[in-house]
Chain A
Amino acid sequence: MARHTLELGFAGDKKAVDIEVADGTPVPWGLDTPHTEVGERIPRVEARDKVTGRAKYTYDINLPGLLHARVLVSPHPCARVESIDATAALAMSGVRAVSLATDPDWPVGRQIKHEGQEVAAVAADSIDIAADALERIVVRYAVEPHVTDEVAALAPGAPQVHERTPGNTDAGRGQQQGDRDAAFAASSKKIEETYRTQVQNHTALEPHGSVAHWEGDRLTVWCSTQGTFSVLDNLARHFKIPQDKIVVLCHHMGGGFGAKFGAAGCDRLAVLLAKRTGKPVKLMYHRREEHLLGGNRPSSRQTLGVGATAEGEITYVDVDTSGAVGVAGSARCATPIIYRYRAANKRERNVYLHTPASCAFRAPGHPQGVFAFEMAIDELALALGLDPLAMRRKNDPNPVRAAQYALGAEKFEWATRYNKAPGAGGPLVRGIGVAATQWGQLGGPGTEAMVRVHADGKVEVFSGAQDIGTGTRTAMAILTAEELGLAAHAVASHIGDTRWPVGTASGGSRTLPSLGPAVREAAHNARAKLLAIVGSELGAPVSELSLAGGHVVRAGKRVCTWAEACARIPKATGRIDAVGARQADIAPYQRTVAGVQFAEVEVDLRTGVVRCTRVLAIQDCGTVINRLAAESQIAGGVIGGLAYALFEDRVLDPRSGRMLNADLEWYKLPGMRDTPEITAIAFDVSNGANTCGIAGLGEPTTIPTASAIGNAIANATGVRVRSLPFTPDKVQAAIDARRSR
């Protein structure tokens, strides 16, 4: 044990913490730690593979004798399957097996409570044969009344989705803090408004799916997943296979956003059909199925009451939310009240519909909750005659955000670009808006890594976890290289194979804060082993040796090169293997990360068309490991938030309950011309939560974008649109409503 003083925070708020460092463990990085690789701008190690097509996604896996499978899904939102006749399909040339919802071993749900529920699957020699075979499967449905509209679901006499939720609703968590009556009485301005957000589908570019391959009693599954180990666990339990007989692989994956944590219906069906046919089977959802089965973010209807004193101090926050979860899920709107306040009161309820289940989606609950909250704070500021940015700076106690507001105000030229005469002029009007957020995820124990140093000097780092797209391989290489005094590109990263060390699922922005410290510890242990070898040969105490710049260094002098050091690894083994683990949290500077975003929009007052022209996103993610990847991830979050704000919307037919835009034509995602100029700033904060100071980044960056855009629309036009997405009809209606006042 050694005592160590850890410098945390950032230039604007430094904090020194005394900690104990166990012998042989890496000393946690602090604000004053110099780095050579960490924090630099390092292109992804697999970038070339990805742009040349060498990177193999699950979709690309092709094995000898591979069969192709498709699923047949219910066109009805609510029905019972009376019978399924697959005789004609099985008689087709090239059809190898079917699995039906009426089979005893059907591995998916049997109740049809939403459009898109799987009822059969076919494995065939080609994907076209499988698709033709689906048309020859005759399913007799007993169609039952459905309800797919939130208002209709709550009306008396509505079809009931579940017996356990009479009236199609139940209450979520409530929360009450402070003396609400006193806070209300102390308020000189009060706002109460209702905000709405739409259902947003995950819409990963690579749909869910697997390639399953049995060899005897051993199963290998390539799966498009954000949790290789959770897929392994799910399959082992479902098919009662010993864990050691299953390998799950995910070398590259095309997006998950929270909907790919475990083995989905398609994954289980691929395993079953592979077992039944004795051949490898690929089953990927097609786009329509991906829309229906690939997950969604619940809608919300949120009534917010907020008040403030005449001086602009926030007094109370009332939040009353409900949201349509589909057949399952939680409509919880996360409304982190990041400002000082005296009383808060939250109520929430879920509404059940005959629509696909909602599930975790990039910062679950936050984009919708923060959309309403940050719009309401803006409205309160305007009602008080205060500048919305000044209102936030006055009420926000967080020192990181305080610095981010100041940085953003300067970089975005808030004072000069803030529209002093909203709605004047035109037809094109401009405005800017701001919104703030927090996120609380610092990762945790349970993730391990292995670093391997070969006698020829090559270095490899291994994790069984996957890369959801954030650049995990590169971050692992950077952390390993930093510890070994090498350049990041000298390290080969291997991920996405459950035979390698156990790793976290990529959810809650926890991959790198969990995996990074494990990698660092593994590299640290490899370093100790190598220096012990070198030290014993040189007769030097290990404590006097270090690794830097590709050399072993003693007392400031280079002793030998990395290659020469590795050459001393005993021939009998030829390499060093060292493992490391993410240890318990040390001394977090804060348990949350802070972010602020600014948006500029141009609104056409004639048509109601909104274009977002610029976004500045400033995001704390603890210690920045790869600045290039961090900025890319921030930009990705902003684009996701922009899509939520302006475009994405699941459209259901009011009568059939079916999704009408289960494609990428009418389910609108932004393209290049819709993407604003994005300035992403990864705001360095030394967070002592772990030995690397890493905090989560993936989710917070998407949270405040929609509210910043909504606030910018208000600044441009002088009217408030309180419903997402900001489509031309809604923007026009708000402008017209003001004209007619």
Chain B
Amino acid sequence: MRAFEYVLAGTIPDAARALELAGAVVKGGGIDLVDRLKSRTIVPSRLVGVDRVAGLADIRVEGDALMVGAAVRIAALAEHAEVARRLPALAAAARDAATPQVRAMATVAGNVLQRPRCWYFRSALEACPKRGDAVPCPAIPGRHEYGAIFANTKCAAVHPSSLAVPLLALGAQLRVTGPAGERAIPFDALFVGPDVDILREHSLALGEVATAIQVALPAGVASAYAECRHRQSSDWPLATCAVAGRRTADGALSDVRVVLGAVAGVPHRALAAERELLGKRIDPALAARVAEAALEGATPLPLNRYKLAIVRAVVAEAVTALAPL
């Protein structure tokens, strides 16, 4: 990696000021960033460390919302009793992510805002439109077996965040601070697909720093998470699914969301699956119909058709987990 300046910010305003330098980037746990520094696919002028900002690594319940500081380590999220009790989908995604070493260092905001793991995007030798090269996506005619099966005409990279999937299902918001002050971005508006802007995956403005993830805790909220991996130790999932909603008296869910991970350039809301699931008593047959509906609009590439069956399996598993006892 090339030389850069390192600024360890003591406060969020300090961090925001330090980020004003052209080419400055935020460093949380550094898991995603250091990989890109080493592959020289990013050459920043300055790293602004935010993971020591006071209070940024706290998990608190505020009223009927859970506030997860941006610099909370994934391991801390996975081990948090209140998260496990009230947001099992989020706890499960945190527990299964990466390796113990990575979970001990990686921050929740870093996980949500990390860049894709696509091997073309990550290689300085390969031209890639996501890095600004004026070429078509090399993965589409090339090797895309781990690539997107939705919205994949411009870029086949999948969004790698495990946590983003349950967070979107739970209707979370990302709190950010920037030159224009503070704001909260709903996860629904956080992610940017390649058809909108291929160069980025999220809608944070230049100079904005994530400070917390806020998850509402309405009464009766239920959630489940399932993922499928090729390798059981430290592998990127082939597909993940989070389902969230509010339990109704008749064994069904209202306010339901079904979100898929590792299938598109952004965490993918399976709207047809949500319609299929909404208000119906959950049983294995419904789970299978929801799983089928989750594939509506899928456009698999030649080497990743197998992911359709994987999506069916993870959706069915997550839905079934919410069946009435």
Contacts and interface: CB of A to CB of B under 8 A. Distances in A.
B313 A660 contact: no
A687 B48 CA distance: 65
B230 interface: yes
B301 to A, nearest CB: 12
Given A604-B313, A606-B312, A653-B138, A728 B143 contact: no
Contacts of A128: 1, 3
Nearest to B117: A665
Contacts of A674: 231-233
A674 B145 CA distance: 21
B228 interface: yes
Interface in A432-465: none
Interface in A397-445: 427
Given A654-B141, A666-B146, 12 more contacts: A132-B3, A135-B40, A427-B313, A607-B309, A607-B313, A609-B230, A652-B143, A655-B138, A661-B119, A671-B99, A671-B234, A673-B233
A593 B99 CA distance: 39
Contact of B228 (A75, A609, A656): A609
B95 to A, nearest CB: 13
A317 to B, nearest CB: 34
A132 B310 contact: no
Interface in B143-165: 143, 145-146
Contact of A660 (B143, B230, B231): B143
B45 interface: no
Q: Across the A-B interface, give the 9 residue pairs with the lowest CB-CB distance, nearest first.
A: A671-B233, A729-B306, A673-B232, A606-B313, A660-B119, A673-B233, A607-B313, A607-B310, A75-B125
Contacts of A727: 230
A72 B127 CA distance: 19
B296 interface: no
B14 interface: no
Contacts of A514: none
12 contacts: A132-B3, A606-B309, A653-B120, A658-B123, A660-B123, A666-B146, A668-B230, A668-B235, A671-B99, A671-B234, A728-B228, A728-B310
B89 interface: no
B142 interface: yes
Most A-side CB within 10 Å, residue of B125, B145, B235 = B125
B255 interface: no
B85 interface: no
Contact of A655 (B142, B232, B305, B309): B142
A651 B143 contact: yes
Given A655-B138, A729-B306, A668 B231 contact: yes
A653 B126 contact: yes
Interface residues on A, range: 35 or more
A732 B141 contact: no
B232 A607 contact: no
B312 A655 contact: no
B245 to A, nearest CB: 24
Interface string B218-249: 00000000001111111100100000000000
Contacts of B143: 651-654, 660
Interface string A609-621: 1010000000000
Contacts of A30: none
Contact of A609 (B1, B126, B138, B229): B229
A666 B146 CA distance: 10
Interface in A380-397: none
A672 interface: yes
B146 to A, nearest CB: 8
Nearest to A725: B230
Given A668-B230, A670-B233, A674-B231, A732 B306 contact: yes
Interface residues on B, range: 20 to 34
Nearest to B229: A609
A604 B141 CA distance: 30
Interface string A69-95: 000000100000000000000000000
A131 B3 CA distance: 11
Interface string B251-270: 00000000000000000000
A556 B228 CA distance: 67
Interface in A669-688: 670-674
Contacts of B309: 606-608, 732
B228 A658 contact: no
Nearest to B120: A660
Interface of B: 1-3, 40, 99, 117, 119-120, 123, 125-126, 138, 141-143, 145-146, 228-235, 238, 303, 305-306, 309-310, 312-313, 316
Contacts of A604: 228, 313
B142 A671 contact: no
A361 interface: no
Nearest to B304: A729
B306 A671 contact: no
A732 B309 CA distance: 8
A662 B309 CA distance: 28
Given A674-B233, A729-B306, A653 B142 contact: yes
B187 to A, nearest CB: 26
A199 to B, nearest CB: 14
Interface in A639-658: 646-647, 651-656, 658
Nearest to B125: A75
A672 B233 contact: yes
Interface in A104-146: 128, 131-132, 135
A220 B282 CA distance: 72
Contacts of B117: 665-666
A674 B232 CA distance: 6
Contacts of B123: 658, 660
A354 to B, nearest CB: 16
A105 B197 CA distance: 51
Interface string A707-741: 00000000000000000000111001100000000
A132 B2 contact: yes
B126 A728 contact: no
B126 A658 contact: yes
Contact of A647 (B2, B230, B316): B230
A652 B119 CA distance: 11
Contacts of B229: 609
Most B-side CB within 10 Å, residue of A128, A611, A728 = A728
Contacts of B228: 604, 607, 609, 728
A658 B119 CA distance: 11
A656 B145 contact: no
Nearest to B127: A656
Contacts of A672: 233
A729 B234 CA distance: 20
Contacts of B306: 608, 728-729, 732-733
A671 B232 contact: yes
A611 B145 CA distance: 20
A96 B313 CA distance: 58
B306 to A, nearest CB: 4
A207 B243 CA distance: 44
A117 to B, nearest CB: 14
A349 to B, nearest CB: 27
A733 B233 CA distance: 24
B232 A611 contact: yes
Interface in A575-627: 604, 606-609, 611
Contacts of A652: 143
B317 to A, nearest CB: 9
A609 B230 CA distance: 6
Contacts of A660: 119-120, 123, 126, 142-143
B172 to A, nearest CB: 28
A674 B316 CA distance: 24
Most B-side CB within 10 Å, residue of A606, A670, A672, A673 = A606
Contact of A666 (B119, B310, B313): B119
A152 B86 CA distance: 56
B119 A729 contact: no
Nearest to A736: B309
A733 B143 CA distance: 18
Contact of A654 (B120, B142, B313): B142
